[in-house]
Structure 1
Amino acid sequence: MSEIQMPRLSDTMEEGVISTWVKKVGDKVAAGDVLVEIETDKAVMEYEAYEDGFLVKQSVNEGDTVPIGAVIGVIADSPDAEVAESAPAAPAEPAAEEEKQEAAAEQPAPAAPAPAAEQSGESGGGEGPRPRTSPLARRLAKEYGLDITRIQGSGPKGRVVRADIEAAAKNGTAAQTTAPSTPAAPAEAAPAAQAPAFDDGRASEELKVSNVRKVIARRLTESKQQVPHFYLRRTIDAEALNAFRSQINEQLASTGAKISFNDLIVKACATTLKLHPAVNTSWVDDKLLQHHRVNVGVAVAVDAGLVVPVLHDTDKATLSEISTRTRELAGKARDGKLKPQEMSGGTFSVSNLGMFGVDSFSAVINPPEAAILAVGAMRQEAVVVDGEVAVRNRISLELSVDHRAVDGAVGAAFLKDLAEILEEPMRIIL
């Protein structure tokens, strides 16, 4: 008999949602069979069995959120095996148990309870009292972007608990008011202009937020808050690139393969990273990591948000390999079938919105990478060429850079060489 634990299916995953139990209790299981589909911070992934047996217990239900390492089920040699009580079911939300334990740890106060207007606090050194909070409440407040010091707690001794955070987030405020301990005087009727927030004339409804969307929001917020971005912009002449792509696709016509502009840009980025290894780095825990493999991530829009599958060893791949692999990964991303290793290990990313007609934009760095390239649409523009006005195809590029890992001059030199390679595209394959 062995326990099935919530696996870590991505490098940023902290918890997972049980999307679908593929195997039911009593089903026979062979090694390699898909047991359950799990929604991670990036996609819905299949989790396979590592041994033969029978699924004798599902410790959590579909839709439950489970932390990494928690028991989600049990496999045994026989379908009639009794599950030992020592194989606990993982709670769908660790919040309730956590808050019960914290409440139990509180000793009853000998004095009368403080008035409702007084907020119970913990010692904060010389900074005055701080509200009592649970670890879960602090984490949720951070995820919702709330100031926990402005939220009044409803737990023991005024402790701020999960319910307080969720109520404050739902109300769209950073503070929640609780009912006073003594009856309050009847309030005067509020004027019509002070209508409740939910009746503000916008006909709003709250949508269900996927785990992927929540993590995207949290990670991008952390990226902008913690990573000092700077931006470098350059517009390239894409005439030669356009002609080069047409020539390659003519040669590949019999194979069925087709090279996109993005394939050329991804390969050019890999080539340039080999020339500028200082950009192929990461700043992690006050340490600068030099990556010796060039793994370019390609941003893909899916219904749940944005995922970035990674092309490992991009510098060593041919254009045909990059094209085939990119389309394969993009398809798996849209179907929610990406494997953990297909989304991990990126050292640089490319985000292309040219197909949507976007001229240019600033991309947010995907930590722990040090840079990301934003690619706009190809446009015909009137420019001066050899002293005469001519209409040329041009593409805007913008490089977002982590200033902790890469200096401005280093980033500028990278973008300069990248632009020159794209304007002389034969260098991409040489």
Structure 2
Amino acid sequence: MTHQTFDIVMPSLGADMRDGMLTEWLVAEGDHVNKGDSIAVIETNKGAIEMESYHTGTISRLLVQPMSTLPVGAILANIDLDAETDIGTSDETQPPEQPSSQRQDQPLAAPAAAPAQTTDTSARSAAGSPMASPVVRAMARQQQLNLQGITGTGPSGAILLRDLNKAHQAQQSNDAETPAISPTTKTTDTGANRRNQAAMRAAIGAAMEKSKREIPHYYLSHDVDLSAAQQWLSDQNADRDPEDRLLLPALLIKAVATLLPHFPSLNGFYQNGSFDQAQAVHIGTVISLREGGLMVPAIHNADQLSLNDTMLALRDISLRSRTGRLRSSELTDATITMTNIGERGCDGVFGVIYPPQVAILGFGRLRQSPQVKNNQIEICDTLTVTLSADHRVSDGIQGAKFLHALSQQLQQPEQL
């Protein structure tokens, strides 16, 4: 039986990514994987991301050693596709693995048997210090772990995320009260953290510069009365434990997801000179990282989730964005983005579209303001909602209709 061999390449996890470090293989040669299975851990300026397979088949060769930094598109491994796999039906927004016959168009990586890889020197610290990537060091600080006391299982003893997780579990079961991180370690890691933040900021800036240069934005705003929604949330949460309560951001996500199928020109991608309408609703949610920077993971099929499930999904991606690992699909297939800056005390935010998406919604601070109702002035809970959209795909009339429909939906939260 003949199998078609494809190249697994360094994925592009967003318009701001240029290269990434392969820190860990989650598969071995000969392993069978299904589409969507995690096969490797890639570290970028956004953190450690679980890379997924875009096809079903058998890993035939691993071509790159862990702790190697390579550009987007570089070949990492080969996969022999199952005979029944239809490579023409991929619905991924991320380009799938390329057939081996197309390798002349891709940057090559040396085989694992004779590695000649470029190793990121930022993973190596001064003599006598453990070898670990910036993300591992950042997570060690968050978990108050001393890298000097951890045995790494990576190449040349490099400390991987799995080593950190084991050490963290061991620390939690230990009753010792001695702090795990020394002042010296904190000082050394602060410098690495600043470099990582600077790299992330530069990447974000490059993506936004491209967006403002190439996308003809138009902007709309609308003040929404959320008095009924706030009261409804209060009633729903009255008998719930704190960890099970519904929060306003989940209600906003659910409302947007419910409406987007009726406004397809706001949900999709502008690529190669034309608009591709998304068949699913994957809402990217801007997550602020504690140490600076942003991540925008997607809640998949948000229009099919209940409000409770939306709240669970939001808690999950928020936690994994800050302390755990996201999957590559969560960073590549958002069909629209939402940013909530209300917790920072700002009344409104006009977002910059994240290409190749065609719209971004902004939600400001929930505040009390006077509104006229039935010829009387009432004090209402008010939220300013903004829309930034791509004029190549939609216009202000469509955008205004969407914001009006969203306002009506949010004033009837019991229907969500």
Q: Fold-level match, TM-score > 0.5?
A: yes
| Structure 2: gaps (5+ residues) | 1-6, 78-109, 121-192
Residue type matched to 1:44 in 2? A
Give the whole-Å Cα distance in 2 for the aligned partners of 1:36 and 1:271.
34
- Are 2:265 and 1:278 equivalent residues in the alignment? yes
TM-fit CA distance, 1:335: 2.1
May I ask how many residue pairs the two structures share in their alignment?
301
Does the 8 Å contact 1:6/1:16 carry over to 2?
no
Kindly indicate whether the alpha-carbon contact (under 8 Å) linking 2:64 and 2:111 is maintained by their aligned counterparts in 1. no
Deviation at 1:244, TM superposition (A): 1.4
Distance 1:268 1:54, change over 3 A: closer
The correspondence for 1:249, drawn from 219, 223, 237, is: 237
* 1:372 aligned counterpart, secondary structure: strand
Residues 85, 278 of structure 1: CA spacing in aligned structure 2 closer, same or farther, 3 A cutoff? closer
- Gapped regions of structure 1 (runs ≥ 5): 73-82, 94-205
**What is the match of residue 138 of structure 2?**
none
**Quick one: which of 66, 90, 94 aligns to 2:117?**
90
Distance 1:288 1:207, change over 3 A: same
Contact (CA 8 Å) 1:6, 1:71: kept in 2 or not? Answer: yes
Do residues 319 (structure 1) and 318 (structure 2) align? no
Secondary structure of 1:262's counterpart equals: helix
Equivalent of residue 69 in structure 1, options 68, 74, 79: 74
CA distance in 1, matches of 2:385, 2:229: 14
Alignment partner of 1:262 is 2:262? no
2:4 corresponds to:
none
**Do the aligned residues in 1 keep the contact of 2:369 with 2:379 (CA within 8 Å)?**
yes
Q: Would you say the 8 A contact 2:49–2:327 is kept in 1?
A: yes
Query: What is the distance in 1 between the residues matched to 2:30 and 2:264?
Result: 47
Pair 1:296-2:283 in alignment: yes
The answer as to 2:44 corresponding to 1:40 is yes
| SS of match in other structure, 2:252 | helix
Q: 2:19 aligned with 1:16, yes or no? A: yes
- Give the distance between the partners of 1:414 and 1:383, measured in 2 at CA: 21
- The two structures, once aligned, show a CA RMSD in angstroms of 3.9
Whole-Å Cα distance in 1 between the matches of residues 72 and 10 of structure 2? Answer: 9
1:352-371 superposed matches below 5 A: 352-371=340-359
Quick one: which of 231, 234, 240 aligns to 2:228?
A: 240
Note if contact 1:6-1:66 (Cα within 8 Å) is conserved in structure 2: no
Contact 2:64 2:76 in 1 (8 A): no
Letter in 2 for 1:273: L
Distance in 2, Cα, partners of 1:373 & 1:422? 15
CA deviations 1:263-293 (Å, max 9, x no partner) are 1111111112122223223321111212221
Larger Rg: 1
Matches within 5 A, 1:343-422: 343-422=331-410
Amino acid paired to 1:352: N
CA contact (8 A) 2:15 2:207 kept: no
Taking structure 2 as the reference length, the TM-score comes to 0.62
Identical aligned residues as a percent: 26
**Matched AA of 2:263:** H
Q: Residues 409 and 333 (structure 1 numbering): CA distance in 2 closer, same or farther, change over 3 Å?
A: same
- Which of structures 1 and 2 has the larger relative contact order (alpha carbons within 8 angstroms, sep 6+)? 2
Shift of 1:336: 5.0
SS of aligned partner of 2:257: helix
* Cα displacement (A) at 1:318: 0.3
> 8 Å contact 1:18–1:36 — kept in the other structure?
no
**Residues 72-151 of structure 1 mapped to structure 2, 5 A cutoff:** 87=114, 89-91=116-118
* Residues 281 and 291 in structure 1, CA contact (< 8 A), matched pair in contact too: yes
Q: Retained in 2: the 8 A contact 1:311–1:325?
A: yes
SS of match in other structure, 2:223: strand
